[in-house]
Amino acid sequence: MEIINYIKDILKALRSLWKGMMVTGYYFVHPKEIVTQRYPENRKKLEMFDRFKGEVTMPHDENNTHLCTGCGICETNCPNGSIEIITRKEINPETGKAERVIDKHIYHLSMCTFCELCIKTCPSNALAWGQSFEHAVFDRHKLTKVLNQPGSKLRKEPKEKKVTEEKN
Amino acid sequence: MLTSIIYDFSPLTHRIDQFLSETFSPGWAVTMELVIVGLVFLLFYAVVGLFLVLAERRVCAFIQNRLGPNRVGPEGLLQTIADLLKLLFKELIPIKRADKFLYNLAPFIVIIASFMAIAAIPFAKGLHAIDFNIGIFYVIAVSSLGVVGILLAGWSSNSKYSLIGAMRSGAQIISYELSVALSLLAIVVLSGSMQLSEVIASQESGWWIWRGHLPAFIAFLVYLIASTAEINRGPFDLAEAESELTAGFHTEYSGIKFAFFFLAEYMNMFIVASFATTMFLGGWLPFHIDGWYAFNHMMDFIPPVVWYLGKTAFIIYLIMWFKWTFPRLRIDQLLTLEWKYLLPINLVNILIVAFISWKNWHF
C-alpha cells in the first residue's frame, strides 16, 4: 500500500503543478491581460482608473456653480496646510441677510500628500479627485491653484427636489 | 550550391578544410581550423547568451502581465547589448582578504565548462565541432565542471552569502547530476550509442520521446527537472536565492566577471535545452509522420538548423515557464525530491527501458 500512496502523491503533485502552469501559461498567450501602459505613446487615449488620485478639484456645472459653502472644514483637516480658504460676506437679495461666500479656495499641489481627508470630510461634497497627473512645471508658483472658477457661485438645490428623488 | 548549404553543411566545412590543408602545413591548418571554430563559438556564445537574457525578461514579463524591456531598440532588442556595454565599463571591485587568485579564476572555470559542452552539440547536418564516440559521456563530465567554478567563487569571495550559496549549489549539483545522467542513459539504451550523431541518426523513423513509449516521456520529464536544478535555475535557484542570499555565489563579483557568470548561466540553459532536443526530440531532424509523404516532404523543406533552433527554443520556453510559475524549494525539499522521488523513478524507468529495448517493443 505504501507504493500506491507514493505514486498517488506524485500524480497529485504533478496535477497541482500543471494547474499552476496553466495559470501562467494563460497569461503568456493572452497579451490583452497586460496592465502596463505604454505611456508617452498612448498619452492621447490614456484613461486613468476610477480611484486614481490625480489632484484635488472642485467640480463646476454648466452654469458655473459649485457646491462649496466656504465652511473651512477642509482647511482645518488638511494635515500639511495645502488648502487655504478666503471667504467674504455677501448680502442675500432674497432674505436680506449677510451670508458667507467663498472668495478663493487655494490649493497648493506642491504640498499635497493625496491623503483624501479634505474630500472625505467635505460636508457638501464640493471636492473630488481630478484625473490629470502630468503636474510637472518649471515654476513652482504654478502648483498653487485656485479651485473655484472666477465668477462662480454656490449652487442652491431646492430641498423638495431631493425628497422627490429619494421617493422615486 | 548556396541553398543546399543550409540543408547540409558538410560540403562547406570540407571545402574549408581542403583549402586550409592545401595552402598551409598540416599543423598550421589544424591550428587555423581550431581558431575559426573558436571564433564562431565565441560569437555564437555572446549572441545567444544576450538574446536569452532578453527572452527571459520578456517571457517573465508576459507571464506576470507586464511588458518587459521594450524601449531600447525595436521591442527592446538592444536592451541586453546596452546592459553588457554598461557591465564592461563598470569597476571591478577588489575584495579585502579574498583569495585573489581563485577569486579571479572562478568565472573563467564556469564559462570554460559551458564552452566545452557547447562543442559537442550537433547544430545541423555537418555543423558539429567534435563528434566524440562518447559524446554524451563527455558532455555530462564537462558540464559538471562548472560547479568547481561556483564552489571556488563562493569560497574565495570571503563572504558568508557566497559561501552558503556555493555549498548549496555543490549539494544540489552533485545529487541532480545522477538523475540527469540516468535519464540520458535511457536514451542511450534505446539508441544503442553514445555518439551524438548516431543518436540523431537512430531517430530517423521517429523521435525517441514518441518511440520509447511512456518510459521515454518519463525520462524526458525527469531530465527537464534535474537539468533545471543542475543549471541553478528556478525553482531550484537556491545557490542564488536573491531573497535570502542577495545573489549567492556571485554576490561579490562586479563588472565583466559578474557578466561571465550571468552569460554562463544562460548558456548552460541553452546547452541543457539543446541536449533535450538532441536526445529526445530528434535533434535537427524534421518532424515526420509515417505514411504522410506530402507532409513529410514539406517538412523537409524547412532547414535542419531551423528545426534544431525551434525545438531548443521550445525547451527553453518550458524551462522559463516553470521558473516563473513555481516558488523556490527549500534545501531539504530539494534533496527529498531528488533522492526519494527522481532517483527511484529513474532507476525503475531505466529497467523498463532496458526491457523494452531487449524485447524490441519500441516503434
DSSP B286-353: PP--TT-HHHHHHHHHS-HHHHHHHHHHHHHHHHHHHHTTSPPPPHHHHHHIIIIIIHHHHHHHHHHH
Q: Give the pLDDT of residue B3.
A: 64
**Is A21 within 8 Å of B322 when comparing Cβ atoms?**
yes
Q: Is residue B343 part of a domain?
A: yes
Mean pLDDT along residues A80-85: 90
A85 or B240, greater pLDDT: A85
Per-residue confidence in pLDDT tens, chain B, 363 aa: 556 666 777 777 778 778 887 787 888 888 888 888 888 888 888 888 888 889 888 888 888 888 888 888 888 888 888 888 888 888 888 888 878 888 888 888 888 888 888 888 888 777 777 788 888 888 888 888 888 888 888 888 888 888 888 888 888 888 888 888 888 888 888 888 888 888 888 887 778 777 777 888 888 888 988 888 888 887 888 777 777 777 777 888 888 888 888 888 888 889 899 888 888 888 787 777 777 777 777 777 778 888 888 889 999 998 888 888 888 888 888 888 888 888 888 999 889 888 888 887 776
Kindly give, in sequence order, each residue whose CB lies less than 8 Å from that of residue B233, ignoring residues fewer than 6 positions away.
B265, B269, B319, B323
Smallest CA–CA distance from A19 into chain B, residue: B325
DSSP secondary structure of A8-49:
HHHHHHHHHHHHHHHHHHHHHH-GGG-----TTTTTTT----
Q: Give the pLDDT of residue A138.
A: 92
Q: Is residue B2 part of a domain?
A: no
* Total domains, chain B: 1
Spatial distance between the Cα atoms of B72 and B90, rounded to a whole number of angstroms: 20
**Is B321 within 8 Å of A28 when comparing Cβ atoms?**
yes
Kindly give, in sequence order, each residue whose CB lies less than 8 Å from that of residue B245, ignoring residues fewer than 6 positions away.
B161, B164, B165, B251
Mean pLDDT along residues A120-133: 88
Smallest CA–CA distance from B58 into chain A, residue: A28
- B56, B57, B58, B64: which to substitute to probe chain A, counting the most A Cβ within 10 Å? B64
**Is A27 within 8 Å of B66 when comparing Cβ atoms?**
no
**Is B325 within 8 Å of A20 when comparing Cβ atoms?**
yes
Smallest CA–CA distance from A39 into chain B, residue: B71
CB B36 within 8 Å of CB B70: no
Q: Give the pLDDT of residue B259.
A: 85
CB B65 within 8 Å of CB A35: yes
Closest chain A C-alpha to B327 CA, distance in angstroms: 11
Q: What residues does A86 pair with on adjacent strands?
A: A104
Nearest to B221 by CA among B146, B322, B136, B310: B322
A63 at interface of B, judged by CB pairs closer than 8 A: no
Spatial distance between the Cα atoms of A100 and A92, rounded to a whole number of angstroms: 10
Residues of A in contact with B62 (CB under 8 A): 27-28, 31, 34
**Is B65 within 8 Å of A21 when comparing Cβ atoms?**
no
Closest chain B C-alpha to A4 CA, distance in angstroms: 13
Q: Is residue B71 part of a domain?
A: no
Q: Are strands A153-154 and A65-66 parallel, antiparallel or unpaired?
A: parallel
Q: Is residue B30 part of a domain?
A: no
A21 at interface of B, judged by CB pairs closer than 8 A: yes
* pLDDT surpasses 70 at A114: yes
Mean pLDDT along residues A163-167: 46
CB B304 within 8 Å of CB B288: no
What is the DSSP secondary structure assignment for residue B249, as one 8-state letter? Answer: G
Confidence of residue A15 (pLDDT cuts 50, 70, 90): very high
CATH of domain A55-154: 3.30.70.3270
Q: Is residue B295 part of a domain?
A: yes
Which domain range does residue B220 map to? 79-359
**Is B65 within 8 Å of A35 when comparing Cβ atoms?**
yes
Q: Is residue B65 part of a domain?
A: no
Confidence of residue A168 (pLDDT cuts 50, 70, 90): very low
ipTM: 0.73
Q: Give the pLDDT of residue A158.
A: 61
* pLDDT surpasses 60 at A167: no
Kindly give, in sequence order, each residue whose CB lies less than 8 Å from that of residue B255, ignoring residues fewer than 6 positions away.
B87, B88, B89, B90, B91, B92, B93
